[in-house]
Amino acid sequence: MYDYDLLVVGSANADLVIGVERRPGAGETVLGGDLATHPGGKGANQAVAAARLGARTALLARVGDDAHGRLLLDSQRAAGVDTVGVLVGGAPTGVALITVDPSGDNSIVVSPGANGRLAPADVRAAACLFHASRVVSTQLEIPLETVVEVVRNLAPGSRFVLNPSPPRPLPGEVLAACDPLIVNEHEARVILGEACVSEEPADWARLLLAKGPKSVVVTLGAEGALVADGHGVASVPSVKVDAVDTTGAGDAFTAALAVRLGGGAALAEAAAYAARVGAAAVTRRGAQGSYPTAAEVDALCCAVPGDVVSDSGSAAGRTPGRGSGSAPGSGGQGGML
């Protein structure tokens, strides 16, 4: 019997967000709106998203002994996340500088801060959390050697989910543990490197699977997602929404997928549910504050492909074709998962 449905090992950042009419080019300065500070970080986001869905969730992370660290701890506890694994001190809390344009697309620069101090020794010291967790999820906003140590400390029978963001080449030991490896288009290209000999996402999924993961999910923005395992490649359709802010939507997708897989769902079924969670998230501003409850996700079950769903969860009209309001469950113009 597991105490936790999901253990997230990863980053916790303060998101400093500015709305802009357009994102600046190289050497360019643009004026933006008022600065907003939100709790974020891919690890902290996934933990909150899972807890909001009703999953028993724990977080292993490191924050600074500062105001941003306290903001993050308060946010986790308010969502119902067990923060026994959150370490405090060693460096300032990580910060993400985020610009969001009117379409909801964003650009992000991360200063890792305390995230870079989450060490393999911290993973080994948290062995009790690993043995108590059905699914373990992580990302690459923490040191790669720490991710490797996570793989080495997985409990027998548990499941490992990895979103390699920001992407970098991965050792075979990590790839072999992934079930699934979750990538967007950019991440797929980086992980494949010279092996990316095709422009077809289905080929990316097959090539990634050949690198060793037990399963692969490729998210495709407004085109939905592809799932691949030993049974082949399948398509998961998108849910169209009025996208407001895509920040953290991919984290919501990953968390929901991990929770559903831990509950026994098949990969395609879990990805379809995650798509609805991501779609709901982009209809609100911010990352953690945008994440839906299970009841709000259920409201999207009634959405018909082509319907645009507002932040109330109701269909707001029929939108043909592809547009800036379409989403793969993480909403918006695509590529943000």
DSSP secondary structure, 20-46, as one string: BSS---TT----B---EEEEE-HHHHH
> How many residues does the structure list for the chain?
337
Range of the domain at 173: 4-21+34-318
Here the tokens at position 223 are: 């085109």
Instruction: Provide the Cα torsion 157, 294, 292, 240; round to 10°.
Output: 100
Count Cβ atoms below 10 Å from residue 104 Cβ, excluding itself.
24
What is the C-alpha separation between 126 and 90, in angstroms, rounded?
18
Given CA atoms 52, 277, 335, 102 in this order, what sign does their dihedral have? negative
65 is catalytic: no
Give pTM, 2 decimals.
Answer: 0.85
**pLDDT at site 248:** 83
Catalytic residue (one of 203, 242, 251, 298): 251
Instruction: Provide the Cα torsion 185, 228, 288, 325; round to 10°.
Output: 60
Q: Which residues contact 123 (CB under 8 A, 6 or more apart)?
A: 9, 60, 130, 146, 149, 150, 153
Q: What are phi and psi of 39, to 5 degrees?
A: -70, 140
Residues 132 and 4: beta-carbon distance below 8 Å: yes
Domain membership flag for residue 96: yes
Here the tokens at position 38 are: 């939100």
Instruction: Please list the alpha-helical segments (H only) found in 24-159.
Output: 42-52, 67-79, 120-125, 127-131, 144-152
**pLDDT at site 302:** 59
CATH of the domain at 64: 3.40.1190.20
**pLDDT at site 304:** 43
Domain membership flag for residue 333: no
Here the tokens at position 317 are: 């009209």
Q: Exposure pattern of 48-81 as b/e (b: 16+ CB <10 Å)?
A: bbbbbbebbbbbbbbbbebebbebbbebbeebeb
What is the C-alpha separation between 37 and 68, in angstroms, rounded?
9
CA-to-CA dists, residue 27 to 23, 62, 150, angstroms: 12, 34, 40
Domain membership flag for residue 337: no
Domain membership flag for residue 192: yes
**pLDDT at site 286:** 76
For residue 143, cis peptide bond before it (omega within 30 degrees of 0): no
- Looking at the 3D structure of the chain, how many domains does it have? 1
What is the C-alpha separation between 39 and 44, in angstroms, rounded?
8
Residues 329 and 279: beta-carbon distance below 8 Å: yes
Of 107, 146, 116, nearest to 336 by C-alpha is 107
Domain membership flag for residue 292: yes
Domain membership flag for residue 66: yes
Task: Give me the residue label for tokens 């113009």.
Answer: 333
pLDDT in single tens digits along all 337 residues of the chain: 789 999 999 999 998 999 999 988 889 999 999 999 999 999 999 999 999 999 999 999 999 999 999 999 999 999 999 999 999 999 999 998 989 888 877 888 889 999 999 999 999 999 999 999 999 999 999 999 999 999 999 999 999 999 999 999 999 999 999 999 999 999 999 999 888 878 899 999 999 999 999 999 999 987 889 999 999 999 999 888 888 877 788 999 999 999 999 999 999 999 999 999 998 888 888 788 889 999 988 887 655 444 444 454 443 332 222 222 334 544 343 333 4
Domain membership flag for residue 331: no
Domain membership flag for residue 166: yes
